Amino acid sequence: MSRIFVLLSGENSTLPKAEVKAVLEAEGYAYRVIESQKRFLRLEAPEAAGTMLGTRSSYCRFCLIELVTCEAEVNEVEHAITTAPFERYISPQESFAVRLRSIQGGEMRHGSSKLEGKLGKFILDSAKGLRVDLNNPDHLFLGVVLGHRFIFGPVVGEVGGKGFAARLPRKKPFYHPSSLQPKLARCMVNLSRASKGRLVLDPFCGTGTILIEAGLMGIEAMGIDLQRRMVQGAEKNIAYYDVEGIHLIRADSLSPPVKEIDFVATDPPYGGVSSTLGVPASELLKRFLAVAHDVLATDGYLCMAFPASMNLSDTAGDLGFKTVERHKVYIHRSLTREIAVFRQV
């Protein structure tokens, strides 16, 4: 077990932390939260967990292994790095870069302007053949100044924004205004605890955003939609991003042709720009919850988005679901989504 520092996105107050924990649970990593603050988590977990968070999460900015943790004072840092096992994380002939970042008003005392160079020189001298590459390094070492503390180590997981930007709703060949943002869609797949080798279902797949994010994580996914044009549009989007392991079915989500599904992640239609085909939105979602209860396997998870004003968590409880977590996501003046996770018990 190692100590892992996870910097979180500030896009939502609760989803980033919940997503980190859900990914670790989905992948079967044992972990312990050492410290939890608004923008970061410090964990005790296997090092591979940090790498996994970098490949799966949407609201995690980066994960680094804590090789150095000390007071944010230059002399303290210079002393602490002498015992750090940098050789475990970089090999001869590889390149690296060192960067510093301040969080929550963190500030180094005494000579911080030269600290980045000192850290880089220490790593450079730790083994023959190493080289500095500030533009495209093989390894990035990051120092985080956090209040009066300094944390330093290799970045083992990093989430870039370019991939998500390329998958925004209007960048897709088939567009619909009700489409989820890709970050939220990926987070919902993660909150469902879906994992490789098992199937996640989106019974209201629409343009296929949830399916695409699942497939890009290597998770097999099935999408259902009653409207032919939505199924065809989802198929076009999936092909555009060259995502494999996705199955599409045109069917009624209230009579799905599947049983014993382990994971469901979905954003059902609830009026406005998304059609409910004449069924009142609240009635449609309540009927779907009853169907989901029959479709989900024992211990299965359902992650579902709906208008916060509907308060469907009570309905889910009456059906026998256990509410695992609830999150609010402000969309615009007339819509705040609730992202709820229910478990079949």
Tell whether 146 and 192 lie within a shared domain. no
> What integer is the mean pLDDT of 68-96?
88
Q: How many separate domains does the chain show? A: 2
101 CB neighbour count, 10 Å cutoff: 13
Model-level pTM? 0.90
Tell whether 171 and 266 lie within a shared domain. yes
Q: In whole angstroms, what separates CA 118 from the centre of its chain?
A: 34
> What integer is the mean pLDDT of 30-57?
93
Q: CA–CA separation, 323 vs 317, rounded Å? A: 7
Cβ atoms of residues 242 and 222 within 8 Å: no
231 is in which domain, residue-wise?
165-344
Q: CA–CA separation, 39 vs 322, rounded Å? A: 28
Mean pLDDT for all residues in the chain: 90
Q: What is the pLDDT of residue 271?
A: 61
> What integer is the mean pLDDT of 82-86?
87
Percent residues over pLDDT 70 in the chain: 95
Tell whether 130 and 250 lie within a shared domain. no
Tell whether 59 and 192 lie within a shared domain. no
> What integer is the mean pLDDT of 247-254?
94
Please identify, among 129, 158, 187, the residue that sits at the C-terminal boundary of a domain: 158
Q: Which positions ≥6 away from 131 have C-beta within 8 Å? A: 93, 94, 95, 96, 124
Tell whether 75 and 112 lie within a shared domain. yes
